[in-house]
Chain A
Amino acid sequence: MLKLENVKAGYGSIEVLHGISLEVSEGEIVTVIGANGAGKTTTLSAISGLIPLRGGKIVTLGICQVPEGRRIFSRLTVHENLKLGAFRVRDKKKCAQTYETLLDFFPILRERLNQPAGLLSGGEQQMLAIARGLMSQPKMLLLDEPSLGLAPKLVASIFDYLVKINRSGMTILLVEQNARLALEVASRAYVIETGNILMKGPAQELLHSDKVKKAYLGE
């Protein structure tokens, strides 16, 4: 579904990713955890083609990125944000179906359809960002720190949604600093540090490894 082989990328003269390899298969939730500045967002940018590769290879299929900080179009309405999510979708009928399904899934958005998206609360904005991503009918969702800036209760609810979305068949690559939650919902995980993959394995295993506990779970 997604495969990175020895990917190198960076900005200007600085190389940030020094050879990242990772893989996500259909139906999985895979998480990439790491500290500030480890290169998580850069990895997603490389996957989405926002920055050029300097080496290695990426194979993708029907991905859609929900970026860090949500980046909803705040002056556009909720409805307009969703419509733009499907900007590349040509099949109008399918698009209308997805739209209805998503509004059933996130009822709060239905109540706010004609409000400027900037007026939504942080949690609602994150739901909108995810729903907008799903409007493009991707095979796989790339999420960059969906927990960013949200109260713990809201984070839990967003993660519940992610699990539900995954159960309905969506493959998910989840990038997080909130390592504990990410490892709890994921099946497999990668730990990234200064542009290198440091560890990888089943999420439960990493959750209980001393190294991860110490460095990322604050135990």
Chain B
Amino acid sequence: MELFVQQLINGLTIGTIYALIALGYTMVYGIIQLINFAHGEVFMVGAYIGLTAITFFGFVSGSTLPMAMLYLAVMLLISMAGSGLLGIVIDQIAYRPIRNSPRLVALISAIGVSFVLQNAVMLIYGPQDQGVPQIVPDIHFIFGDVTITLMQIMILAVSLVLMVFLNFLVQHTQLGRAMRATSQDHKMARLVGINVNWIISLTFFIGSAMAAVGGVLFGLYYHTVNFHDGYLAGLKAFTAAVLGGIGNIPGAMVGGVLIGLAEGLGAGYISSEWKNVFAFVILVLILLFKPTGLFGERVADRA
């Protein structure tokens, strides 16, 4: 039972990070029916931007909790802004010129962007792992055999706040309505006066900013980042988006958490060496048995 609860907590933690990344896949797909396979790299760049930001501001470990929170906030905001802009630039350079080409073209373009970003980061920071300082104090809350760290609580809290905010934005504001309308019918969206290109850019910005938050939290959680990190995390988050039903925002959130839980429980009960396999087993199973995912939209009503 302790093992179960412990793995549940660990799985939930990493799952919310996958969920944050998955949002970008699903939002971009919802708007332009494109799988942005460079999105994992945006997550990785987000982690590096966060790291660079605290290095720049000269973080000293052992700060008080309020100071630590301030640093975390600064890190997140800078990383969100930087990665958000990166997302827009990727769209402008790699996708917009080929908007009406076959999907395979966009896929190849995405792979190109991935290579460029990975290699750029490798050239700037070097191929070795970069240590991420302990910003959130290393506090453990112990309940019997179950431990939850302050960092885990922070990850859950930050993710929860962002997801509630995003849901509110999309469901209850005029801007969110415009995004959903655009995702259904670009031409009609233009007819009611929505600037469709602007909405697409905004979608890339938000999706990339969410991935950046995932990247910063990921770095802080594992204390290290590497230019390769975007690949695996990106694939798992993509799986989460497909599991939730690509294009569906709450689906991506649930999908991420489920993938995290599967990974946590799989690692605990089967083998931690197989940790990375569970997500892909799930991916294969969904593609075989329910390609629309858990909350998938009926593909037929796309005009």
Contact A73 B174, CB 8 Å, known A87-B193, A87-B194, A136-B193: no
In the complex, B301 has a CB within 8 A of chain A: yes
Contact A132 B177, CB 8 Å, known A50-B187, A73-B185, A118-B301: no
B193 touches A50 (CB 8 A): no
In the assembled complex, which residues on chain B have CB atoms less than 8 Å from the CB atom of A76?
177, 180-181, 184
Which chain A residues (68-114) contact chain B, with CB distance < 8 Å? 71, 73-76, 80, 83-85, 87-88
In the assembled complex, which residues on chain A have CB atoms less than 8 Å from the CB atom of B68?
none
Interface residues on A, range: 10 to 19
Contact A71 B185, CB 8 Å, known A84-B177, A87-B174: yes
In the assembled complex, which residues on chain B have CB atoms less than 8 Å from the CB atom of A48?
191
- Of all chain B residues, which has the CB nearest A85? B192
In the complex, B105 has a CB within 8 A of chain A: no
- Distance from A69 Cβ to chain B, minimum over Cβ atoms (Å): 8
CA distance A67 to B303 in the complex (A): 13
Which chain A residues (21-70) contact chain B, with CB distance < 8 Å? 48, 50, 65, 67
In the assembled complex, which residues on chain A have CB atoms less than 8 Å from the CB atom of B184?
73-76
B181 touches A73 (CB 8 A): yes
A73 touches B301 (CB 8 A): no
- Of all chain A residues, which has the CB nearest B190? A50
In the assembled complex, which residues on chain A have CB atoms less than 8 Å from the CB atom of B181?
73, 76, 80, 84
- Of all chain B residues, which has the CB nearest A75? B184
In the assembled complex, which residues on chain A have CB atoms less than 8 Å from the CB atom of B301?
74-75, 118
A87 touches B192 (CB 8 A): yes
A84 touches B191 (CB 8 A): no
In the assembled complex, which residues on chain B have CB atoms less than 8 Å from the CB atom of A73?
180-181, 184-185, 188
B190 touches A84 (CB 8 A): no
In the assembled complex, which residues on chain B have CB atoms less than 8 Å from the CB atom of A136?
192-193
- Distance from B184 Cβ to chain A, minimum over Cβ atoms (Å): 5
- Of all chain A residues, which has the CB nearest B301? A74
B191 touches A80 (CB 8 A): no
CA distance A74 to B183 in the complex (A): 11
CA distance A87 to B297 in the complex (A): 26
In the assembled complex, which residues on chain A have CB atoms less than 8 Å from the CB atom of B178?
84, 87
Q: Which of A83, A87, A88, A132 counts the most B-chain CB atoms under 10 A from its CB?
A: A87
- Of all chain B residues, which has the CB nearest A72? B188
Flag B170-202 by CB within 8 Å of A: 1 or 0 each.
Answer: 000010011011001101101111100000000
A and B contact pairs by CB, cutoff 8 A, 12 listed: A48-B191, A65-B191, A67-B187, A71-B191, A73-B188, A74-B184, A74-B301, A75-B180, A75-B301, A80-B180, A83-B177, A132-B192
B interface, CB within 8 angstroms of A: 174, 177-178, 180-181, 184-185, 187-188, 190-194, 297, 301, 303
Closest 3 pairs (CB-CB, A-B): A88-B193, A71-B188, A87-B193
